[in-house]
Structure 1
Amino acid sequence: MSYPQWPGQLRDGLARMNLGLSGDQQAQLLAFLALLDKWNRAYNLTAVRDPQVMVSRQLLDSLSLLPEVTTDRLLDVGAGGGLPGIPLAIARPDLHVTLLDSNGKKTRFLNQCVLELGLGNVSVIHGRAEDCRPGEPFRQISSRAFTALPNLVAWCGPLLADGGAFLAMKGQYPDDEVAALPAGWQVESSKPLAVPGSDGERHLLIVTRAR
């Protein structure tokens, strides 16, 4: 099911974020959101269930990461319902996104999205980050509502290329998590994320190996 307010919310939000996506890309984003809404009723993919806020809290929130994605290969860990990976892949057809999740129900949903939306630039891996062995490490790894920063670097550090960075999306600035980062890791920078239609705080933390 899709909702009549979604196209306008998406169009207005993209304009406020200065993101120029085509009509086809916007339609694909809304088709993904409709799939997420449909499957969420049975699979509990996301806690967001109010149609009035889905565009903001799922699509626009994910796309707020877009200016920070500077690689052509992105790993999205704890991909869950495909956020932020699938919106990023739709917005950047030149970007190959690998979605990694250990939950079989969630990866079945992600594979269905790839099939129904024709996402040739998305791969899905069912497994734990600690067991993942990619052909080559990733320059950037995104994480949204996956785990605390110390766990993120412990579990996924081997998947990150030398000189690479974690793009960790958080709500309020996680002072405790930053303080608990193990030796050898640092928050290189952080910035607030502006998401139209969202009242809560959002932050992006760029986490790298300490030089």
Structure 2
Amino acid sequence: MVDEVSAGQAVELAPAAAHEVFGDAWPRVDSFADMLVAEGELRGLIGPRELPRLWTRHLLNSSAVAGFVPRDVRLADVGSGAGFPGVVVALMRPDLDVHLIEPMERRTAWLNDVVEQLSISNVTVHRARAEELHGVDSFAVVSARAVAALRKLVPWVGPLIAPSGRLLALKGERAAQEVEDARKVLRKHGLQQTTVHEVVVGGTEEPTRVVEAVRARD
């Protein structure tokens, strides 16, 4: 279902199931959506074609990651952009220490505005490329969405994953093929037990695919 905003653009209304999906995080996720509607296109974060599918394609899609993250760990979201999935996961999982890694200044400015306006206390924003943090920091979980194909993504994020940690990559219909194409580079970076999870998120019609790859113990 879509509604009209003052600018005359169609905007998707939150499906009724979104309240249940987000639980206690619902009020701030809804506020995050309002910020994206008001400023997302203006600040070059999302295109006008994304507003009619803001909830099903972006917010609810991002929520699928939260269920694969262990409790009380550090998570790095690489290429956070408008905040998918990092901001959504941080809102849903206040037990996590979430680090949003984004190289573009206008996007990090946006992310800092979101953190401040929504009073998100468990987020740190880094203006950096993932490669700049190689050998500097590591995380129990690294997430990524719409950054690059796995064979390109893994060399960027693999060195950030702690031993026994995991990569969680949101992917489309070609997820299984991307895994096959990336087999060699996954092994090179010690990532094994790779699984493509198809998650049915309430309020969406298409399954959300989460590629999970676990790093071996050193």
Q: Structure 1 length normalisation: TM-score?
A: 0.84
Q: For the Cα contact (< 8 Å) 2:164–2:216, is it kept in 1?
A: no
Match of 2:194 among 188, 195, 207: 188
Equivalence for 2:18: 13
C-alpha separation in 1, matches of 2:22 and 2:96: 16
Equivalence for 1:38: 38
Kindly report the root-mean-square deviation, in angstroms, between the aligned alpha carbons of the 2 structures. Answer: 2.6
Equivalence for 2:212: 206
Task: Report the AA paired with residue 62 of structure 2.
Answer: S
Describe how 1:1-211 pairs up with structure 2 within 5 A.
6=13, 9=15, 11-15=16-20, 19=21, 21-22=23-24, 25-47=25-47, 49-71=49-71, 72-132=73-133, 136-181=137-182, 182=185, 183-184=187-188, 185-186=191-192, 188-209=194-215
Specify every segment of 5 or more residues in structure 2 that has no aligned partner in the other structure, as ranges.
none
Q: For the Cα contact (< 8 Å) 1:37–1:49, is it kept in 2?
A: no
Residues 56-96 of structure 1: per-residue CA shift (max 9 Å, x gap) = 22221111222111142111001011111111111121211
Identity among equivalent pairs (%):
31
- Per the alignment, in what secondary structure is the counterpart of residue 43 of structure 1? coil
Residues 18-77 of structure 1: per-residue CA shift (max 9 Å, x gap) = x4613xx31211111111222222222124645442222222111122211114211100
Q: For the Cα contact (< 8 Å) 1:107–1:125, is it kept in 2?
A: yes
C-alpha separation in 2, matches of 1:198 and 1:149: 25
Q: Structure 2 length normalisation: TM-score?
A: 0.82
C-alpha separation in 1, matches of 2:11 and 2:53: 13
- Per the alignment, in what secondary structure is the counterpart of residue 41 of structure 2? helix
Relative to structure 1, the CA distance from residue 143 to residue 180 in structure 2 (aligned partners, 3 Å threshold; closer, same or farther) is: same
